[in-house]
Amino acid sequence: MSFTPIWGVPIALYLFLAGLGGGAFVTAYCLRRTAPGQAESTRRFAHYAAFIVVCIGLAMLMLDAKAGFFHPQRFFLLLTNFGSWMTWGVVFLVLFTLADFIVCILDLTKHKTPEWLEVFGVIFGLLVAVYTGALLATPHAFPLWNSAALPILFLVSAMSTGAALVIGFAAIKRPEEFKAMEWVSDAHYWLPIAELVLVFFLMWVTYHNGEAGANSVLVLMVGQYALAFWLGFIIIGLVLPLIIESVGRFGKKESRGMTACADVCVIIGGYLLRWLIIVAALPVTLVVPAMF
């Protein structure tokens, strides 16, 4: 039996952009705590970027939800079922976007953002990032999704891509601020390692979770998505940034150009992770195993 994935590129982009926005906002707050007053224009960029990418993601979501797109008043019904992660996701997204919007206005009008508002944004930014994984982890018919590792993996990836966007911006545009961002850069260095560990265990456990689980993993590792998985996600998205950053750290002096390259790789990897997880998941076997 052949299986057509339920969602495609628009939803993969949405999951990626929602995480990217949340991650960028959290990174901005980390900069406030670890480099007070030393990276203000980078912080402002992070707030604006988070708002823009989350809004693009939401536009993708609405376009993909065709019946809602034709009847926009139905989107208000999204707050009906609080047993659904989709409903909670709407709550998290609205509160996060609202907080970020106010922060952006304060930035634009050159006012200082109160810390409580930023903490509020951080909490909902983290919740947005983790919900994108929890949403997929709920349906029990897809072993690749139905895993406790998935929300954590998406959260780590969201923080990694968000930090990459902010660090990459500083490396290219704000060299003087980039120097003050050591704590964030250090933290960011370890995230791809955490992701590799999480991906390994997600694949391992899913492979041993019935025919559908095994087939989903095989489709990624040796099947139709093997190139995107190994070259795109594992090598370009995780291993290459690690090598580049390690060379910078433990070898000669870190170059800003190389850091920016590593950050672009991380962002590409972040998108590919969402896309691969969406398209490679196969449903449990009823009569014959699902294949592509």
Residue 130 CB, nearest distance to another protein (Å)?
17
Distance CA 292, CA 162 (A): 33
Cβ proximity to another protein, 77 vs 105, nearer residue? 77
* Residues near another protein (CB under 8 A), total: 38
Q: Select from 34, 87, 209, 224 the one that contacts another protein (CB under 8 A).
A: 87
Residues ≥6 apart with Cβ < 8 Å to 142? 136, 212, 216, 281, 282, 283, 284
Cβ proximity to another protein, 23 vs 89, nearer residue? 89
Stretch 246-285: interaction string toward another protein, x if CB under 8 A: -------------------------------------xxx
Interface region with another protein, contact rule CB under 8 A, candidates 42-50, 138-146, 170-178, 234-242: 138-146
Interface region with another protein, contact rule CB under 8 A, candidates 116-124, 135-143, 224-232, 254-262: 135-143
Token reading at 206: 């899913």
The H-or-E segment that residue 212 falls in is helix 210-221
| 208 binds another protein, rule: CB under 8 A | no
| 90 binds another protein, rule: CB under 8 A | yes
What HEC string does 190-210 produce? HHHHHHHHHHHHHHHHHHCCH
| 77 binds another protein, rule: CB under 8 A | yes
Length of the chain: 292
Distance CA 264, CA 261 (A): 5
| 109 binds another protein, rule: CB under 8 A | no
| 136 binds another protein, rule: CB under 8 A | yes
Q: By CB neighbour count within 10 A (0-12 exposed, 13-18 middle, 19+ buried), where does 177 fall?
A: buried
Residue 199 CB, nearest distance to another protein (Å)?
21
Q: By CB neighbour count within 10 A (0-12 exposed, 13-18 middle, 19+ buried), where does 48 fall?
A: middle
| 65 binds another protein, rule: CB under 8 A | yes
Interface region with another protein, contact rule CB under 8 A, candidates 18-26, 44-52, 64-72, 240-248: 64-72
| 287 binds another protein, rule: CB under 8 A | yes
- DSSP code for 78: G
The H-or-E segment that residue 102 falls in is helix 85-108
Q: Which residues bind another protein (CB under 8 A)?
A: 1, 3, 6-7, 64-71, 74-75, 77-78, 80-81, 83-87, 90, 135-136, 138-142, 145, 283-288
